[in-house]
Amino acid sequence: MTTAIVGDVHGNVVRLRAALSHLVNRVDELVFVGDYVDRGPASREVLDILVELKASRLSQVTLLRGNHDNALLEFIQSGNRDLFIAHGGLTTVRSYMTDIPANEPLNIFRSTFPPYHAELLEGTSLYLERDDLLVSHCGYNPAFPQSRSLENMVTGRFPDLFQTAANAPRSLVVFGHYVQDSGAPYVAPGLVCLDTGCGTLPDGPLSVLMLPDHNILQF
C-alpha cells in the first residue's frame, strides 16, 4: 500500500491543490498531519477542499488535528478567543469575511462558521498508529512516549524528541508542528518532521512523505 503523509498546510491552498493534483489517484492512502488553518490567506478554501476530499475518498483519507485546528475548534465550541487569536486566528477570520465588520467580528465569525467545517474539525483524529508507524501533529512526549493525549499528540511542544529518537514509541514517527527554516524536512532514523513552512515562511513548500519508499515530495 502506498501512503502519502502530508505536512502542515496553514491556509496555503495553492500548494495544497498542487499536491493533491499529483497524489490523488496515485496513492492508496492520504494522511494529513494537521494545521490546515491560520497564517496563510486561504484557510476557508483549504477546509472546503478537505471536506470534498473526505467525502469522495472517505476510507482513504485520514485528517489529524493540529494545534491551530484545535484552537479554532475550541473557539467555535466555547468562545475561547485568546488561544485562537494567539495562534494567528485573525488571518483565518479574514478568509471567511470579505468585509470585516467594525463591531464584534469574532462573534459574527463564530456564529456564521459553516457547520460542515466544524464537523470536519470535530472529526479529526489525534493520531494514527500502526505496528511500525506513529503519525501525529506534534510527535510525542519523550517523557511519556506511550501517552496519546491531546497535549502529547496535538498541542504540546517537545523539542527534546529530536535528540531522543531512541525513545520513540514506534520505529517511525512522522509529525509536523516544528517549522524547519531550511525548507527541507527533518529526517533522522525513526523521525520525520514535515513542517517546512507552508503558509508560514515566504515560499515555504508543502512537504509529503511517501511510504513505503520514504521519498520526500515538495509542492
> Which structural domain range is residue 17 located in?
3-66+126-218
Q: Check residue 89 and give its pLDDT.
A: 96
Distance CA 158, CA 64 (A): 18
pLDDT (tens digit, 0 to 9) for every residue of the chain, 219 residues total? 999 999 999 999 999 999 999 999 999 999 999 999 999 999 999 999 999 999 997 779 999 999 999 999 999 999 999 999 999 999 999 999 988 777 889 999 999 999 999 999 999 999 999 999 999 999 999 999 999 999 999 999 999 999 866 689 999 999 999 999 999 999 999 999 999 999 999 999 999 999 999 999 999
Model-level pTM greater than 0.85?
yes
Structural domain includes residue 95:
no
Structural domain includes residue 163:
yes
CATH number at residue 155: 3.60.21.10
Structural domains in the chain (count): 1
Distance CA 10, CA 200 (A): 7
Structural domain includes residue 79:
no
Structural domain includes residue 35:
yes
Q: Check residue 166 and give its pLDDT.
A: 62
Burial (CB count within 10 angstroms: exposed 0-12, middle 13-18, buried 19+), residue 52: exposed
Candidates 204, 161, 163; CA nearest to 180 is 204
Q: Check residue 103 and give its pLDDT.
A: 83
Q: Check residue 100 and give its pLDDT.
A: 76
